[in-house]
Amino acid sequence: MKDLRIAVVPGDGIGVEVIAEAVKALQAVADAAGRLVRPTAFDWGAERYLASGVTLPPGALDMLQGGFDAILLGAMGDPRVPDNRHAADILLGMRFRLDLYVNYRPVRLFHEKLCPLKGVTPAQVDFAVFRENTEGLYVMMGGNFKKDTADEVATEIDLNTRKGVERIVRHAFEFARARRRRRVVMADKSNVLVHAHDLWQRVFRAVAAEYQDIEATHLYVDNLALQMVRDPGQFQVVVTSNMFGDIVTDLAAGLQGGLGMAASGNIHPGRLSLFEPVHGSAPRFAGKNVANPMGAILTAGLMLDHLGWTEEARRIEETVRWAVDGDRTTADIGGTLGTREVGDAIASRLRAAGRA
């Protein structure tokens, strides 16, 4: 099978540290299988923006689409860029302009000891959230009137299109069918957002009618948040809007042991897609070798799975599980190791599996 060409964008803060470990894991699992992953690093992020004013360089998207199988990104966010301008251009820019409409965020608990809820087992935390990723409250349409006066007005538009809602809802049902999951939950706030989220209601019902083998249920998003904590075992597949998906997947990350454990893919099926851990740049932790690299390593696994390297993806997941079981972990999930040491343990285990 052909080599994988991966565009690597470490970004800011702990993004740089965790992506180094994810790349190490990729190289190790590829070596063990006699295959090749070819990473190319891009320095897009706050540092470059502050030095040159450049966020996403001109021509970048064509270059990515022409030369790479996938993009692996760390995080964007730096206190020196308070309006997050570079993240909007680089991260949201790629999500929107590559039309990566599926934000796939699997939620899985690897060991009971990582869950903050009493008595919750790994079997009870095993679901996927599909977050709409190209519209909603993220379109940055809005404005200020009489800015910086006592009469200021500020608006932000929640933009929802039939096409946009339908494709993410359909993707959730297709995923459920392919993975033999029996239930899809759609979460919205249609009791208040009577125009925009009524569209979600109507589209969800119409698409669900085409999937009679799958149970389609609805929860208001506030209740979804409660239910995720009260009884996470009831969920298999969740589909929701961009902003709600952002919020509930941080909550869901909590069920897995924290943001350090959560992986995601920004996907347009059949096209160049972008993979990143759910967490941000955690500036307070940056440069201290304390960030948990497992979310980034699991993200690399998701990327391999997406690209058809299913056996290598499975090995990555199994090896993270091994590291969790043996407490080869960072402090956020109870261990005593640093970012690099966790990455080294995982990479050497992946390599050793190749020699066995």
Active site residues: 138, 189, 222, 246, 250
- Using CB under 5 A as the binding criterion, the count of chain residues that bind Mn ion stands at 1
| Cβ nearer to Mn ion, comparing 92 with 165 | 92
Helix (H, G, I), strand (E, B) or coil at 296: helix
Report how far residue 28's alpha carbon sits from residue 32's, in angstroms, rounded to the nearest whole number. 6
Q: Which long-range contacts (CB under 8 A, 24 or more apart) does 120-126 make?
A: 120/232, 120/233, 120/255, 123/233, 124/232, 124/233, 125/232, 125/233, 125/255, 125/256, 126/236
Contacts with ligand NAD, 287-326, as mask; x by CB under 6 A: ----xx--x-------------------------------
* Nearest-approach distance from CB 89 to ligand NAD, in angstroms: 12
276 binds ligand NAD (CB under 6 A): yes
Closest-CA residue to 89 (of 143, 134, 44): 44
87 binds ligand IPM (CB under 6 A): yes
Q: Which helix (H) or strand (E) holds 218?
A: strand 215-220
Report how far residue 22's alpha carbon sits from residue 71's, in angstroms, rounded to the nearest whole number. 12
Binding to ligand NAD in span 235-264, by CB under 6 A: 258-260
Binding to Mn ion in span 230-249, by CB under 5 A: 246
| Cβ nearer to ligand NAD, comparing 173 with 275 | 275
14 binds ligand NAD (CB under 6 A): yes
| 347 interface partner picked from ligand NAD, ligand IPM, Mn ion, none, CB below 5 to 8 A per type | none
* Nearest-approach distance from CB 133 to ligand IPM, in angstroms: 8
| 80 interface partner picked from ligand IPM, Mn ion, ligand NAD, none, CB below 5 to 8 A per type | none
Give the one residue of 132, 246, 312, 332 binding ligand IPM; rule: CB under 6 A: 246
77 binds ligand NAD (CB under 6 A): yes
Which stretches of 132-189 are DSSP H helices?
162-178
Contact, 276 vs 75, CB < 8 A?
yes
| 279 interface partner picked from ligand NAD, Mn ion, ligand IPM, none, CB below 5 to 8 A per type | ligand NAD
Cα dihedral across residues 109, 223, 178, 270: positive or negative: negative
Residue with tokens 């029996």: 182
Closest-CA residue to 255 (of 114, 135, 145): 114
Stretch that binds ligand IPM, among 84-92, 199-207, 324-332, 339-347 (CB under 6 A): 84-92
Q: Which residues bind ligand IPM (CB under 6 A)?
A: 77, 87, 91-92, 246, 278, 280
Positions touching Mn ion (CB under 5 A) are: 246
